Amino acid sequence: MNNRLTRLDVASWGAFMALAASSVVMPICLPEISRSLDTSLSEGGGAETVRTLLIIAMLMLAGVLAHRWGKKPMMVSGQYLIAAGVLMASYSQNYPMLIVSLMVVGIGGGLTEAIVNPLVVDLHPQDSGKFLNITNAFYPVGVMVSALLFGELLTLGYSWRFIFRIAAAATLAMGLIFNTSRFPPAVHQEHSPWKLIGNVLGSGGFWLFAAAIFLGAGVESAFTFWSRSYVETFFEGVPRAGAIAVVIFAGAMAAGRLFAARGSQAMSLNALMMGSAVLGVAVTGMIPLATSLTGFYSLLALAGIATACFWPTILAAAADRLNADVTILMVMLAVVGVTGFGLTPWIMGVIGDREDLRAGFFVIPVFFIGLILVLAVEWRLSLTGAPREPVAPEPPRP
C-alpha cells in the first residue's frame, strides 16, 4: 500500500476539494455578504477567526476520539456538519446568525482536518512527503474550481445565498461517499491519547515545526481570504476579476504542491521549504506595490508557488523527525496551523480598517521572514545529526 493509490486516496482528494469549497465561499462572497449584512472588514475577518476557533477545538477532540473509534466516524460526521453549517449560513439575516452557522462549519472542518492527513500517512508511511503533497494539492484545486464557479455566478447576478447552498450540496455528497467507503479497522492503542498529547507538547522539536506551520498557514489564508477584496478595492469592480485572483493563487499552489511531491524525492524537505520561503519574501514584498492588475496576477502566481509546500511538507518532516504517534502529532500541528490560518485574516482586516488593505498585505513578507528564521534553526539541528526525539513510554498496565 506504500506506493499504490487506493480508493481512500481518491476519496481524500475529494474531501479536500469539498473542504476548500466550504472555506472559500465566504471570502469569495465577502463583499456581497458585507453589503447584505452591513459588516466591516474586521467583522468579515473575524467571522473566519470564529470558524477557526471551533476547528481548533474539534481538532483536539477528533484526535482523541479517532484513537477510540477509528477515523471513519470522524470523517463522515465532519462532512455532514460542514454541509449543515454552510446551508445554515445561506439563511443568515444578520451577523450573529452568520457566526453561529460558521461555528457549525468549524466543528465539521475540525473533524475533517484532523483525519485526512493522518489517513494518508497510514496508507503511505514510507513516502509520506510525496503523497501528502499530492493529496494536499487538491485543496487549492478545490479553491480554484470553487472560485471560478462562484465568481462567475456572482458576475451573472446569482445571490451569495444560492452559492452557499451549492457548497453545502458538494460537501454533503462527499459525506455520503465516505459513509459508503471501507476504512482500515481502528487500531487499539495501549497508550492514553492524553499521554501521547503530553509527549508531543513536551518535545522541543514540535514547537519549531509548530511555529513554521503557523506562519505557512497564515500566508496561505492571507491570499485565499483577501485576494478578491484586494482586487475589487484597488483594481476592478467586477466580481469575476477578484475571483480570478483567487484562482491564480490556488492554481499556482496546486502546481507547486505537485512539484514539491517530485522535488521531495530529489532534495531534503528542509531545503525545499527554505528555497520556497526565500522566494516568498522576494515576491510578496512587491505585491502591495503592484500598480496594475496584470502585475498583481503575476506576483500572485509566484506567491502561490512559494507558499505551496509548507503545510504538507512540514507535516511530513515532523513525522520523520519526531518519534511520536502520527495521528496525535499531525492533529497538534494542525491545531497550530489552523490558528495561523484563522488569525491572519483578522489581523489583516484590523490593519485594513485602520489604514487600508494594502498595508495589511505587508504582514505576508514578515511571515515569510519568520519562516526563514525558524527553518534555519531546524536545518541547523538536522545537519548536526540530532537524534530523533523519543516518546516517553507509558508505564505498563497492571
Interval 325-337 mean pLDDT: 85
Structure confidence at residue 87 (pLDDT): 95
Residue with cell 527553518: 375
Structure confidence at residue 395 (pLDDT): 41
Structure confidence at residue 195 (pLDDT): 77
Q: Count CA atoms closer than 13 A to 245's CA, side-chain side.
A: 31
Structure confidence at residue 394 (pLDDT): 40
Q: Is the pLDDT of residue 342 over 60?
A: yes
Interval 343-355 mean pLDDT: 87
Q: Is the pLDDT of residue 90 over 70?
A: yes
pLDDT band at 364 (very low <50, low <70, confident <90, very high): very high
More confident residue, 70 or 382: 70
Cα dist. 210→73, 214, 217, 281, 339 in Å?
A: 27, 6, 10, 20, 10
Q: Is the pLDDT of residue 126 over 80?
A: no
Interval 21-39 mean pLDDT: 80
pLDDT tens profile 137-187: 898 888 788 878 888 898 888 998 999 999 999 899 888 888 887 776 655
Distance of alpha carbon 146 from alpha carbon 175, whole angstroms = 18
Structure confidence at residue 135 (pLDDT): 87
- Lowest mean pLDDT: which of 180-194, 299-313, 368-382? 180-194
Interval 211-221 mean pLDDT: 93
Taking the whole predicted model, whether its pTM rises above 0.85 is answered as no
Interval 242-264 mean pLDDT: 85
* Phi, psi (deg, nearest 5) at residue 185: -60, 145
Q: Is the pLDDT of residue 1 over 50?
A: no
Distance of alpha carbon 2 from alpha carbon 54, whole angstroms = 33
Q: Is the pLDDT of residue 280 over 90?
A: yes
Interval 298-306 mean pLDDT: 94
More confident residue, 237 or 71: 71
Of the ranges 11-25, 53-67, 226-240, the best mean pLDDT one = 11-25
pLDDT band at 212 (very low <50, low <70, confident <90, very high): very high
Largest Cα span, the chain? 70
Interval 45-66 mean pLDDT: 72
Interval 5-31 mean pLDDT: 83
Q: What is the CA radius of gyration of the chain?
A: 20
Count of CB atoms within 10 A of residue 180's CB?
8
Structure confidence at residue 390 (pLDDT): 45
- And the C-alpha cell for 187? 487500531
Domains of the chain by start residue, with CATH = 7-181+193-383 (1.20.1250.20)
Structure confidence at residue 98 (pLDDT): 84
Interval 350-355 mean pLDDT: 87
